[in-house]
């Protein structure tokens, strides 16, 4: 998309976990606002399919894909270097990649604990370290971390995930203060239960463990939202895209709940 009147024209955004769910919605929202977008993830086939589909709408020159693992620092560095070569300096980073797993604390083993930290918190750290130097050199940048309402409150039976997402919110606030005078903003969006693969897996888990129907399980997850529904991916993506706009420069260090009033 070459319309220079669009608010993110000329900007290069990288979205981790961008091939599905909230990440895919963020990719579309940023492209619609004129950005060039690198779609990052671990599933090369899913990335390629998304690239092909979006090229018809936005043009092949606006889209790049990079397969890497956010939990692996070397993989991240290589992926970011290749993305910058393809579409230029990365101006916007959306740290969306994440995993969710539930277990009572006493059944949370060290491997599960570490995996939740490595992907959900370590991934944000590694990707931010890779993107930040160029933003500081340019005097402009936007970093948006997709956390969760679990990063603002407690979720029972999800201690590892909740701890990691609290860490994402803390990292967001700390870095926002570090770079506040450098033209770079750092914010988080905190979705409630959103209609994604992660929630569909949670529904299947509830059904398997409790014998409830899928409809009952979805209603149970939606019950915490005062609107009595699941959040839609596009609603989260619109909040992310707004934080990336040039005119959102006063938004810094915020953790914005996109959850129908679940957290206030």
Q: Could you read off the pLDDT of 192-242 as tens digits, one per residue? A: 999 988 888 888 888 888 889 989 988 988 999 999 999 999 999 999 999
Verify that 158 and 252 share a domain, yes or no: yes
CB 31 within 8 A of CB 37: yes
Identify whether the C-beta of residue 76 lies closer than 8 Å to the C-beta of residue 127.
yes
Q: How many domains does the chain have?
A: 2
CATH number at residue 147: 3.40.50.720
Residue 197: Cβ-neighbour burial (10 angstroms; 0-12, 13-18, 19+): exposed
What would the mean pLDDT of 91-102 be, rounded to a whole number? 96
Structural domain including 199 reads 193-230
Domain shared by 128 and 218, yes or no: no
Same domain assignment for residues 74 and 142: yes
Judged against a pLDDT cut of 60, whether residue 1 lies above it is answered with no
* Residue burial 216-243, b: 16+ Cβ < 10 Å; e: rest: ebbeebbebbeeeebbbbebbbbbbbbb
- Global pTM? 0.95
Q: Do 127 and 77 fall into the same domain?
A: yes
pLDDT at 93 over 90: yes
112 and 59 in a common domain: yes
Say whether both 47 and 122 belong to one domain. Answer: yes
Identify whether 157 is a catalytic site residue. no
Tens digits of residue pLDDT in 139-157: 999 999 999 999 999 999 9
Residues 133 and 208 in one domain: no
Same domain? 183 vs 202: no
In a domain, 88, yes or no: yes
User: Using one digit for the tens of pLDDT, what is the confidence trace for 102-120?
Assistant: 899 999 999 999 999 999 9
Same domain, 93 and 113: yes
Q: Are residues 20 and 136 in the same domain?
A: yes
On whether residue 87 sits in a domain, the answer given is: yes
Residues 82 and 66: beta-carbon distance below 8 Å: yes
* Residue 2: pLDDT over 60: no
Tokens of 227: 């609107």
């Amino acid at each position: 998309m070459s319309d220079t009147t669009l608010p993110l024209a000329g900007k290069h955004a990288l979205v981790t976990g961008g091939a599905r769910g909230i990440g895919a919605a963020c990719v579309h929202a940023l492209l619609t606002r004129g950005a060039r977008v690198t779609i990052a993830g671990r599933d090369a086939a899913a990335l390629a399919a998304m690239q092909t589909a979006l090229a018809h709408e936005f043009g092949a020159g606006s889209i790049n894909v990079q397969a890497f693992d956010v939990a692996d620092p070397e993989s991240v560095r290589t992926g970011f270097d290749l993305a910058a070569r393809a579409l230029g300096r990365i101006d916007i980073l959306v740290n969306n990649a994440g995993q969710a797993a539930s277990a009572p604390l006493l059944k949370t083993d060290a491997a599960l604990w570490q995996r939740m930290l490595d992907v959900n918190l370590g991934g944000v750290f590694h990707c931010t370290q890779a993107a930040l130097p160029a933003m500081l050199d340019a005097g402009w940048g936007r970093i948006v971390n997709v956390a969760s309402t679990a990063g603002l409150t407690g979720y029972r039976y999800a201690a590892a995930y909740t701890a990691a997402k609290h860490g994402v919110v803390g990292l967001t606030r700390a870095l926002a203060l570090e770079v506040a005078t450098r033209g770079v903003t750092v914010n988080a969006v905190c979705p409630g239960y959103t209609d994604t693969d992660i929630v569909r897996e949670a529904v299947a888990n509830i059904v398997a463990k409790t014998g409830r129907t899928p409809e009952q399980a979805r209603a149970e997850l939606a019950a915490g939202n005062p609107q009595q529904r699941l959040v839609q991916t596009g609603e989260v993506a619109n909040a992310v895209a707004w934080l990336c706009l040039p005119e959102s420069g006063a938004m810094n260090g915020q953790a914005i709940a996109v959850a129908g009033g679940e957290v206030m």
